[in-house]
Structure 1
Amino acid sequence: MSSAIAVIDFETTGMTPAQGARATEIAIVLLEQGRVVDRFQSLMQTGAWVSPFITQLTGITNEMLRTAPPAAEVMREAARFVGDVPMVAHNASFDSKFWQAELALAGQAAPHAFACTVLLSRRIYPQAPSHSLGNLARYLQLPSTGRAHRALADAEMAAALLARMQQDLCTRHALPWPDHALLMQLQRCSKARTGSWLAQQAAQVSLTAG
């Protein structure tokens, strides 16, 4: 079974597709056992207007998007890149909505399960002063990946964070390399139960190995 995970980030014109926001940029970093094996990135033209606030935040201008490939074309290519690999995002409730909405507009299904590095970080690093991507990267001393609020830099940072969390789960809790299914279970675990749940997982591994 493949251990691949696709870490995704969108830049957008607003907070939610339900309010008419559209994606302006997508990036996906493919991880295998914590190692980057492939990347996908593209600006995307939807015809939506980018406000001065969003341009200041992301550096993405209306002029840049006029020459970008059509969103439907980009999303179909992104869907081919991901295939059936499960997905991860930092604040997955945001990115998963745009993944589903933009794929739907492109006539594509979006069956992918999403794990969330925000939820996971709250369970693995409860002592961190903040669980925003940039603050976690500084807290864990992860290397810089470029300008924040550009899709590839943020996807690379989220991928580095995910790989670090998987490594720490291995070394601190005597677990084999955590797959996407385990991450999904962990993020649903209450913070109060996280320690006992991880100990239970390690005990099961030990019994199986014995």
Structure 2
Amino acid sequence: MKPQHYAVIDFETTGLSPAHGARPTEIAVVLVRGGEIVDRFQSLMNPGVRIPWDIQQFTGITDAMVRRAPPVREVMAEAVRVADGQPIVAHNAAFDRKFWEYEARDLPGGRESRFLCSLLLARRLFPGVANHKLATLVSALGLPSSGRYHRALADAECTAHLFIRLQEEVARVFGVEGCDCGLLERMQRANKRQLGKCVEGWLGDCK
């Protein structure tokens, strides 16, 4: 089976949801092909609103840093271009998907991507880890890390390494090479005790 290509993303934002007025302040896109990171894109962006002080402390991104950054729409247009319609991976994808779809809603291809969640997959494939925060998984699995979290490129690169490790685990445990997006979508929805049946069902559908 031919391996698929994936775009791993991470946002830093002014809040939890665009539905409540939050806007992105930074995005990174890391491309994974054949189990390797092959390209990266990162940019700050001007959200057009003030960044709450506690979030400035949390991410290190200040109002001064984004004041002269490109506007959100310009950065998102480039991020969508880099992702190029590939399935999108994020850690806790429910969060990043909201911002991606809201900010790219009027851009060609912006609302057409399939999303995979490395958090959901890690819960199913590594249930014994103390918790499934990105930093915990990186440490527990011995994955590459810059040691810096809550900045978009550092988190996206860690998520990319985690996603590659998740694909390797699927291949090791279930003997499935290539990790088709459809299989991973099924696995992240499945009960962790039913993963074997999930893989069997997918293989049967592929015949």
What is the TM-score of this pair, normalised by structure 2?
Answer: 0.92
2:104 alignment counterpart: 103
What are the Cα deviations for residues 62-81 of structure 1, in whole angstroms up to 9, with x where unaligned? Answer: 00000101111101111111
8 Å Cα contact 1:25-1:41 kept in structure 2: yes
CA distance in 2, matches of 1:10, 1:201: 34
2:23 alignment counterpart: 22
1:52 alignment counterpart: 53
RMSD of the TM alignment (CA)? 2.1
8 Å Cα contact 1:73-1:106 kept in structure 2: no
8 Å Cα contact 2:45-2:70 kept in structure 1: yes
What's the offset of the Cα at 1:105? 6.1
What is the TM-score of this pair, normalised by structure 1?
Answer: 0.91
Q: How high is the sequence identity, in percent, across the aligned residues?
A: 46
What are the Cα deviations for residues 112-168 of structure 1, in whole angstroms up to 9, with x where unaligned? Answer: 110101110011011111011011111101121341000000000000000001011
Unmatched 5+ stretches in structure 1:
none
For residues 195 and 127 of structure 1, do their structure 2 counterparts lie closer, same or farther at Cα, with a shift above 3 Å needed?
farther
Q: How many residues matched?
A: 206
Moved segments of 4+, more than 6 Å: none
Q: What does residue range 17-96 of structure 1 map to in structure 2 within 5 Å?
A: 17-96=18-97
Is 1:158 matched up with 2:135? no
For residues 179 and 203 of structure 1, do their structure 2 counterparts lie closer, same or farther at Cα, with a shift above 3 Å needed?
closer
CA distance in 2, matches of 1:115, 1:182: 10
1:193 alignment counterpart: 194
8 Å Cα contact 1:71-1:102 kept in structure 2: yes
**Residue identity in the other structure for 1:86:** P
CA distance in 2, matches of 1:107, 1:127: 41
